[in-house]
Amino acid sequence: MPEYRLNGVKDSERSMKVSIPVMDRSGLSSTVGQHFGKVPDYAVMDTESGTLSFLENTSEHRGGVGMPPELLAKAGVQVMLCSGLGPKAVDMLSSLGIQVFVGAKGTVGETLEAYNAGKMIRADHDNACKEHDH
């Protein structure tokens, strides 16, 4: 299993949960979802155990209650890797202590490799999806 880093700190020195919005539950082959808040599930990689699990999106965007960032924070997620998201989601995730990176594409495995290689960009208002007003 690859070694993941958060701000240059090896996962063996700091365990974390990394999440990616997905369209299906196909393990590392799961397809990255393009709309952060409207995906059916979130893949969650626990870097300490190397376990990949899935968290159902039960937020109001999918007919449930609450917002996706709250759901992820309750699950202990510390890092979100996504294709893109709106400025409101960036703010809410950040306020909950979740670091957000954009540029996820392809599969969960490919996205984790890109993150590990330092190819993901820290999300901010300049690179947020303004056309969706998330």
pLDDT in tens, 53-103: 999 999 888 878 889 999 999 999 999 999 988 889 999 999 999 999 999
Average pLDDT, the chain: 86
Per-residue pLDDT reduced to its tens digit, 95-115: 999 999 999 999 999 999 999
Residue ranges of alpha helices (H) inside 35-130 are 68-74, 87-95, 108-116
Question: What percent of the chain clears pLDDT 70, i.e. is strictly above it?
Answer: 85
What's the pLDDT score for residue 127? 74
Q: Say if residue 4's pLDDT is above 60.
A: no
When pLDDT is averaged across residues 31-51 and rounded to a whole number, the result is 93
pTM value?
A: 0.85
The answer to whether the CB of 110 falls within 8 A of the CB of 116 is no
Q: Hey, what domains does the chain have and what are their CATH numbers?
A: 10-122 (3.30.420.130)
What's the pLDDT score for residue 129? 67
| Buried-exposed string 47-74: b where 16+ CB fall within 10 A, e elsewhere | beeeebebbebebebeeeeebbbebbbe
Mapped onto helix, strand or coil, the DSSP state of residue 41 is: strand
